[in-house]
């Protein structure tokens, strides 16, 4: 059984290309995440996502400009997968429990 994609709204630090920015974590699942960023992040960039005592490492797999900045999708490294037992972001919601997923 695969881990569901959780919708959330949680401020995290994103480090890419020796630059850091605060971003909003919008979605997370076992091997990926979607972030909303004010500054563009290069596709294929290696990134570090951190919050509290959690660290996730991954690669940017998609970047799309939107009305408020950039939507960035990240494939998480198999060495730093996410699980709800490991860390629960603020406002995490499993859409399947609402009949949406």
Q: State pTM to two decimals.
A: 0.90
Q: Are strands 19-29 and 32-37 parallel, antiparallel or unpaired?
A: antiparallel
Topology of domain 6-81, CATH: Thrombin, subunit H (2.40.10)
pLDDT digits (tens, 9 = 90+) for 13-35: 999 988 999 999 999 999 999 99
**Greater model confidence, 53 or 94:** 53
pLDDT digits (tens, 9 = 90+) for 39-75: 999 999 999 999 989 999 999 999 999 999 999 999 9
For the chain, the domains span 6-81
CA 93: distance to chain centroid?
Answer: 14
Residue 47 and residue 15 in contact, taking contact as beta carbons nearer than 8 Å: yes
What pLDDT, on the 0 to 100 scale, is given for residue 2? 62
């Amino acid at each position: 059984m695969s881990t569901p994609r959780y919708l959330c709204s949680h401020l995290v630090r994103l480090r890419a290309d020796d630059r850091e920015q605060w971003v909003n974590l919008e979605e997370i699942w076992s091997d990926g995440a979607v972030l909303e960023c004010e500054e563009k992040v290069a596709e294929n960039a290696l990134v570090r996502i951190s919050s509290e005592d959690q660290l996730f490492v991954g690669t940017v797999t998609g970047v799309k400009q939107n009305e408020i900045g950039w939507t960035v999708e990240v494939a998480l490294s198999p060495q730093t997968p996410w699980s709800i037992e490991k860390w629960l972001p603020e406002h995490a919601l499993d859409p399947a429990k609402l009949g949406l997923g």
